[in-house]
Structure 1
Amino acid sequence: MSSALRCFQPGERIAIREVRAGRVWTSRPVTVVHDSADQFVSYLEPGTIIDYPVGVEHGRRTFAMWLSGEWELAGREFLAPGMLRIAPSGQPFEVFAPWSAERGVLSWYVNFQEPLTRTPSGFETMDETLDLEVTADLSSWRRKDEDELELAVEMGVYSDADAQRIRAACLAVESGLRSGAVPWDLSWRDWRPPEPGSNPPAT
């Protein structure tokens, strides 16, 4: 790894940006929790201001923006609870784990997206529409936004091959859950964010 593309240290603030056709779609400042060859883990704190498209809505409006390349960004506050983000290296998904001091990890939200690409200031990726909502105890799960994936194919955002690839990634995660071979590091369910002003825990 070149010096420009270094591993980030726990406690560093970096940005995870979604980029579509060379334009930033969202930018989320996060705190680094862990960065290794196996996984990148970060924490999105409540109250963080993220850059988010103005007037965006799920479905047709989002896809029209993606196709036209026309949108503007504005600051939006990320509300509680905080979110731990777990990205197994090279995988076409990131796991979002909403976290509360009272209950710990509330659920696992598998966000299918382009694998994270490291940059000097953080990472870049792009959402790929389909999601999988998994209960905290891994006992059940359900797909989210399958209808939007179909709409995206109809509108020309994705090809049929793209949609097949995205669904195959989801099937692989579901198969892992079914067999007990969960494809992300479950030890993070015991993680706790550091107290404000304290040193980050070693990872």
Structure 2
Amino acid sequence: MKKALLIIDYSYDFVADDGRLTCGKPGQSIEDAIAAKFNDYIAAKLPVFIMMDLHHNDDYYHPETKLFPPHNIEGTHGRELYGKVKQVYALNEDNPLVIWIDKTRYSAFAGTNLHQLLAERHIQSIELTGVCTDICVFHTAVDGYNLGYDMTVDASAVQSFNSEGHRYALSHFKNTLGMTVHSES
């Protein structure tokens, strides 16, 4: 079965100590795991989708405006990939296997052409990585489940600023969505 890697919202704003909506050290702790998976998928000639949150200045109508401070604003450093993942991307950004998709909702499927791109490539299995486990990764997993994808998540490649939410999401992935969840080492 052909598979793809999704790197969800692994941006400076969500991961760096001074990011605008950071999960900080927990998000930084998964940097090596995501970078390694990115390299492994490229080496295996499998697609990697960078699913990046996109917001605009003064976006008064976006529902997140009421919930979170401004983050991942178009044209800012905050939308750049973080750390080693940014380095791997820089080496591969011209590779046709690496596809960057902007998203404006929690789920990587909502309002994007991700499902179409996966279908065109005959991909039935996706591996989810990134932040936050209980927000964007979670909503992507629910939509992926509803679309019929076989999904896996490695607990060492997802994280959140809410440790209770992180644990709940991993349990939900396994016990409610039937996902394969590889345990943290």
TM-score bracket for the superposition, by shorter chain length: under 0.3
- Normalised by the length of structure 1, the TM-score is 0.24
Q: Which has the higher strand share?
A: 1
User: Which has the higher Rg, Structure 1 or Structure 2?
Assistant: 1
- Normalised by the length of structure 2, the TM-score is 0.26
Q: Which has the higher helix share?
A: 2
Which fold has the larger relative contact order, with Cα–Cα distance below 8 Å and residues 6 or more apart in sequence? 2
